[in-house]
Structure 1
Amino acid sequence: MSKKKLIVVVLIAVLVGAFLLLGGPEVLTLENLKQHQAQLDQWIADNLLLAVSGYALVYVVVTALSLPGATVMTLAGGAFFGNLVGLLTVSLASTLGATLAFLVARFLLRDTLKRKYAKTVRRIDEGIEKDGAFYLATLRLVPVFPFFLINLAMGLTAMKLRTYALVSWLGMLPGTFVYVNAGTQLAGVSSLGDVVSADLLLSFALLGLFPLIAKFVVDFIRRRRVYRGFSKPSSFDYNLLVIGGGSAGLVSAYIAAAVKAKVVLIERNRMGGDCLNTGCVPSKALIKSAKAADTMRHADRYGLDAVPVSGSFANIMGRVKRIIEKVEPHDSPERYRSLGVDCIAGSAAFISPWEVEVTHNDGGRERLTARSIIVATGGRPFVPPIPGLEQMEPLTSENLWSLQEQPERLLVIGGGPIGCELSQAFARLGTRVTQVETGDRILVKEDADVSELLMERFRDEGIDLRLNHRAVEFAEDNGEKVAWCEHNDERVAIPFDRVLIAVGRAGNTEGLDLETLGIEPRANGTVPVADDLSMRYPNIFACGDVAGPYQFTHAAAHQAWYAAVNGLFGQFRRFRVDYRVLPWVTFTSPEVARVGLSEDEAREQGVDYEVTRYDLDDLDRAIAEDEDHGFIKVLTVPGKDRILGAVVAGTHGGEILAEFTLAMKHGIGLNKILGTIHPYPTWNESAKFAAGGWKRAHAPEGVLAWLARFHRWRLGGGQSERSRRKQGESVT
């Protein structure tokens, strides 16, 4: 505890102690007030200003320190000063006292809570920022909630001071008036129950609902206002209209069809989106071919003769194409039509919040209406505006798959997951790869030890890593393509044959006419969405890459459930999208798989944690397959086995991570993983061994020491024959 906080705590303790020693609880009672009312009335009449000031000061101290007696003092305000002066004095003093209590709680406790429960505090602050005034007004208007608890609880949030003070003052006025008015008739008050009857409490409770009712009305007005200028159709062609046939759009349409809604899916290119055609499927097919080449080249690891790798790059790309065609029926229009989805090949543009104009790929046009619309138009690779880059005909994760000739020298710009996966794949296929990254390591969203493990592997495999390099210009020099990079205030030339850009993605919103609806995309093309994935209009939603913030296929599918359910049933209940347990994998070798917090994120968010690490070079299955490298790292709550995050950097990392993801989702701790039978020898035993590492680190040393004594005692009091024999041998 800091010196300032200690001083405040000591001061509070002194004031509370003085209150108790001076008999405060006995003085501030209804009986004592009635007994001395007559004696005080005359003195107050002669010293009104002094009396009001002293009374207000005591009231502030009582409420600021959350001491008992505030109710009696409110009655006294009416008894001694009348309705007008009493109400004014009590309302101001109570507000000032409550505000001081609010500030003290914030000063003493909020920083500690933010450090220990950063995520929870952040979610509460987000709710307070949005609806805090309504919540506070409701609590203030219902007397059954102790005001001192409200003061302390609100002090732990990020509510603005002026908002707290103003809403508290207004919210406490009705109750303050009732008590002050009762105080003017003090002779008729024999107990506090005479002041607050059951009927009055019910009236206050109904009054307390007013902010909630007001919130509903405000939301209703807001919805009506946002739709102003548009005419809602009297009937609709569809319950749900989905724009985009990638992962998010397909899942949205599937869910709607499954609950028997009438749904239409509009896709202008190929169904399956990036994942099937230019992303997950083709990249993993290429990575598999590259891994096969690496295995052949290093067959001596397995007691075989190493094989020089040669082959046609065109054949490899042909295999990639065949795999796409094999998966394609899963996402085909024919399959979705069989599920009850109307599929249209074309593009859509908004006319109103309920209507779009569809331009078919064959040139036809029509207008369609729907109660709810989901925008799932995906994303595309972002190509930075670097001078000369366009003339280099850059490759991206989108157009790479049309490549038929293998580049001899490939320059990869970007050290994120896509850049790393493709750098390693091409290097293993025999291309000389140079990877440029502006930062001091690749995979900057992972911890430094994860990046270091992968960078060491890349260098071993011949990838030329250029860290702290920023590409600033592309040009041709004597017939050779050159990238000019800034590095330590110097310009460095990197020659190449083809360049691959992998520096991020941008959302696809062109042609949607979002400006018609007053929706403005962000700088990266993604659209702003609320917690329920609606964007500006309660019946228009976005999910997948076009919405962000996570641009993964499984994240798009996850969002799609929320968008579809909210779009179909949002008038009854809306669900806020939940990202708390979202795993992801970078499919390099070794794989990098993570769920939850990394160490860097935990430190940044002020979350206390412990780390358990298990090195995969200890795993029998890894040793048998000559893949004994990498590690598992699990973050847990200090002293507990609850998982905050896990990363697996090693072979089959994505599969191993699934166990930790399941555990986090359903609140299963490391003890339960340790107590689960894992078949031997498997890669997933590593999860059990990591849990065992946590258990050993938290072994009850005191109990184990007593158990050791117990077992020695169980051996018997005398010396065993074996012990005597060993002792004789040592002497000899």
Structure 2
Amino acid sequence: MGSETDHDNFDAVIVGAGQAAAPLAVALGAAGWRTAVVERRHVGGSCINFGCTPTKAMAASARVAALARRAAEFGLRAGTVEVDFPAVMQRARAIVARFRRRLEASLAGADNVELIFGDAIFQDARTLIVRRPDGESRTLAAAHVFINTGTRAALPPIPGLERLPLLHDDALLALETLPPHLLVIGGGYVGLEFAQMFRRFGSEVSLIQRDEQLAPREDPDVAEALREMLVEDGVKVYLEAKILDADRGRSSDGDSIALNLKTPTGPLRLLGSHLLVATGRRPNSDDLDLAAAGVETGADGYIRVNDRLETSAAGIYALGDVKGGPAFTHIAYDDARVLKTNLLGDGGASVADRPVPYTVFTDPQLGRIGLSEREARQSGRRVLRAHLQMAQVARAIETGEARGFVKALIDADSGEILGAAALGADGGELMAMLQLAMMGRIPYSRLHDAVFAHPTLAESLNALFAAPQPLPR
């Protein structure tokens, strides 16, 4: 195995053990394909290692702290709430380790599947060299290669930023001390979740967003409700703020990180103890030597694929975040389904026109599916809008979680639901109910007349669809 001239032949090689890798590898192996999964560091990709798993575990701790501080509202005396931040982080890391072990075990126990740790690079369209951590190399040959290498944090072009210690990916999960003042650059979904979370842990938090609203992809009313929630929770939000440069500063607590801003009200210098950059990702495609395999990328480095996830090179596919598009774990899972269907099944699967549901795990959650108001207006349809404040929902009032609202967009001619935003308690679950109705093409009137158990959040759909109005132009 030590010589690069020795070819180890496989039917399939999957480069990158992200969330799409395991279901695809197990299915290929079960079908008799000898399959190699090559992973540089940890199985599970960004989701398990520094994305969904640890951050949602941390958010759960932050939510408990927030609820405990509200104990008096529920007629309880809980005393002073103290956050044991090292224990919070240890809990999150323990869950990550458990998920990694479970995923490694699923690959180890799968028929015809071998997990290989190392860095893979294309020699040609059918051959990869894997340089292992021990310095040895293996040369793998396969008729089918699947690129599943994901993304990494991208830094915005801010002078001085590259010289500062930043919190992202592993650095964030390694934190043992609660940041006294966390600066967050980026008002997208990741920035929103971390800003609220660390404020609830006890940090002072300043969130800097260059756009005129948070969550730029959302409708303005959703974005404004999110801003109001963060401000209510004690986060300082700066909109339309351009960061001119970043450097070291001095505060009463000693050395700090300084951001010099241009804001609508004038120049501003913010000092913080820690800096989280949440302004986007870049694909892990630049060290694979894709040119040697004939795999084309866009100018941004994302691998170009067609609706069947085929790259420009025959027999090579890309799935998950590295191909661009919606960067969600459930999309990666569905990519694996498409490939399994096309390679092992009837061959009729495509990613074209698939729904892209998602949930932002602020508290309360934002669940989204289908068209936004802007997209609905551009569609040329006659559209109705149904809207309901969570403060009108019995279950939300009873549980003390009445922030937010639910809205749905409806085709005025067919009565079918075109899209929805559920910003409220368990907003992701409410969104999933509306997604099921969309999948079944159930008209909104059926949901208005449906018998839902009382008192549940689902019951809010009766009131939501009571009197939809034409969508304002």
Q: Could you tell me the TM-score, scaled by structure 2's length?
A: 0.92
Partner amino acid for 1:505?
A: R
SS at match of 2:428: helix
- Measured after TM superposition, the shift of residue 273 of structure 1 is 1.1
Match of 1:593 in 2: 367
- Measured after TM superposition, the shift of residue 379 of structure 1 is 0.7
Q: Tell me the alpha carbon deviations over residues 344-380 of structure 1, each in whole angstroms, 9 at most, x when there is no partner.
A: 1112111222221122222221222222111000111
Partner amino acid for 2:19?
A: S
Q: Is the 8 A contact 1:539 1:567 kept in 2?
A: no
Partner amino acid for 2:258?
A: V
Q: Take 1:503 and 1:383, find their aligned partners in 2: how far apart are those partners? A: 7
Paired residues, what number? Answer: 459
Match of 1:400 in 2: 172
SS at match of 1:358: strand
Question: CA, structure 1 residues 413+284, in 2 after alignment: closer, same or farther (shift >3 Å)?
Answer: same
Task: Choose the corresponding residue for 1:310, options 82, 95, 115.
Answer: 82
Q: Take 1:645 and 1:418, find their aligned partners in 2: how far apart are those partners? A: 22
Match of 2:236 in 1: 464
Match of 2:287 in 1: 511
Q: Is the 8 A contact 2:257 2:275 kept in 1?
A: no
Q: Take 1:573 and 1:520, find their aligned partners in 2: how far apart are those partners? A: 24
Structure 2 residue 113 is the aligned partner of structure 1 residue 337: no
Match of 1:291 in 2: 63
Alignment of 1:28-39 (within 5 A): none
Task: Choose the corresponding residue for 1:352, options 124, 139, 150.
Answer: 124
Match of 2:311 in 1: 535
Q: Take 2:218 and 2:400, find their aligned partners in 1: how far apart are those partners? A: 25
Q: Take 1:394 and 1:487, find their aligned partners in 2: how far apart are those partners? A: 23
Larger radius of gyration: 1
Question: CA, structure 1 residues 494+342, in 2 after alignment: closer, same or farther (shift >3 Å)?
Answer: same
Q: Is the 8 A contact 1:255 1:561 kept in 2?
A: no
Alignment of 1:703-714 (within 5 A): none
Which ranges in structure 1 are unaligned for 5 or more consecutive residues? 1-234, 699-732
Q: Is the 8 A contact 1:436 1:467 kept in 2?
A: yes
State, as a whole percentage, how many aligned pairs show the same letter: 31
- Measured after TM superposition, the shift of residue 398 of structure 1 is 4.1
Match of 2:392 in 1: 618
Task: Choose the corresponding residue for 1:434, options 173, 198, 206.
Answer: 206
Alignment of 1:600-639 (within 5 A): 600-639=374-413
Q: Tell me the alpha carbon deviations over residues 287-340 of structure 1, each in whole angstroms, 9 at most, x when there is no partner.
A: 0111111111111111112532223211111111112123233311x3212122
Q: Is the 8 A contact 1:248 1:556 kept in 2?
A: yes
Richer in helix (by share): 1
- Measured after TM superposition, the shift of residue 631 of structure 1 is 1.4
Match of 1:476 in 2: 248
Match of 2:135 in 1: 363
SS at match of 1:594: strand
Match of 1:553 in 2: 329
Task: Choose the corresponding residue for 1:649, options 416, 423, 429.
Answer: 423
Alignment of 1:142-157 (within 5 A): none
Richer in strand (by share): 2
Q: Is the 8 A contact 2:405 2:422 kept in 1?
A: yes
Q: Take 1:336 and 1:642, find their aligned partners in 2: how far apart are those partners? A: 42
Match of 1:658 in 2: 432
Question: CA, structure 1 residues 691+382, in 2 after alignment: closer, same or farther (shift >3 Å)?
Answer: same
Match of 2:3 in 1: none
Q: Take 1:330 and 1:405, find their aligned partners in 2: how far apart are those partners? A: 29
Match of 2:39 in 1: 267
Partner amino acid for 2:350?
A: R
Q: Take 1:303 and 1:314, find their aligned partners in 2: how far apart are those partners? A: 30
SS at match of 2:58: helix
- Measured after TM superposition, the shift of residue 394 of structure 1 is 1.0
Q: Is the 8 A contact 1:392 1:498 kept in 2?
A: no
- Measured after TM superposition, the shift of residue 490 of structure 1 is 4.2
Q: Take 1:606 and 1:580, find their aligned partners in 2: how far apart are those partners? A: 20
Q: Take 1:690 and 1:342, find their aligned partners in 2: how far apart are those partners? A: 51
SS at match of 1:534: coil
Q: Could you tell me the TM-score, scaled by structure 1's length?
A: 0.60
Task: Choose the corresponding residue for 1:566, options 317, 339, 342.
Answer: 342
Q: Which has the higher contact order (CA 8 A, sep 6+)?
A: 2
- Measured after TM superposition, the shift of residue 399 of structure 1 is 2.2
Q: Tell me the alpha carbon deviations over residues 475-498 of structure 1, each in whole angstroms, 9 at most, x when there is no partner.
A: 123444210112249432111111
Alignment of 1:42-191 (within 5 A): none
Runs of 4 or more consecutive aligned structure 1 residues displaced over 6 Å after TM superposition = none
Q: Is the 8 A contact 1:374 1:541 kept in 2?
A: yes
Q: Take 2:276 and 2:249, find their aligned partners in 1: how far apart are those partners? A: 19
SS at match of 1:614: strand
Partner amino acid for 1:309?
A: V
Q: Is the 8 A contact 2:326 2:356 kept in 1?
A: no
Match of 2:298 in 1: 522
Q: Is the 8 A contact 1:534 1:563 kept in 2?
A: no
Match of 1:671 in 2: 445
SS at match of 2:287: coil
Partner amino acid for 2:386?
A: T
Task: Choose the corresponding residue for 1:319, options 78, 88, 91.
Answer: 91
Q: Take 1:669 and 1:410, find their aligned partners in 2: how far apart are those partners? A: 46
Partner amino acid for 1:669?
A: P
Partner amino acid for 1:690?
A: L
Q: Is the 8 A contact 2:384 2:410 kept in 1?
A: yes
Partner amino acid for 1:533?
A: L
Partner amino acid for 1:339?
A: A
Partner amino acid for 2:106?
A: R
Q: Tell me the alpha carbon deviations over residues 38-82 of structure 1, each in whole angstroms, 9 at most, x when there is no partner.
A: xxxxxxxxxxxxxxxxxxxxxxxxxxxxxxxxxxxxxxxxxxxxx
Q: Is the 8 A contact 2:183 2:207 kept in 1?
A: yes
Task: Choose the corresponding residue for 2:18, options 246, 250, 275.
Answer: 246
Question: CA, structure 1 residues 678+441, in 2 after alignment: closer, same or farther (shift >3 Å)?
Answer: same
Task: Choose the corresponding residue for 1:491, options 267, 280, 303.
Answer: 267
Q: Take 2:168 and 2:315, find their aligned partners in 1: how far apart are those partners? A: 35
Match of 2:4 in 1: none
Partner amino acid for 1:661?
A: Q
Q: Tell me the alpha carbon deviations over residues 235-281 of structure 1, each in whole angstroms, 9 at most, x when there is no partner.
A: 99333211110112223213323434332211111111111110001
- Measured after TM superposition, the shift of residue 462 of structure 1 is 1.0
SS at match of 2:314: strand
Match of 1:114 in 2: none
SS at match of 2:222: helix
SS at match of 2:48: helix
Which ranges in structure 2 are unaligned for 5 or more consecutive residues? 1-6
- Measured after TM superposition, the shift of residue 594 of structure 1 is 0.5
Partner amino acid for 2:167?
A: L
Q: Is the 8 A contact 2:153 2:281 kept in 1?
A: yes
Q: Is the 8 A contact 1:480 1:495 kept in 2?
A: yes
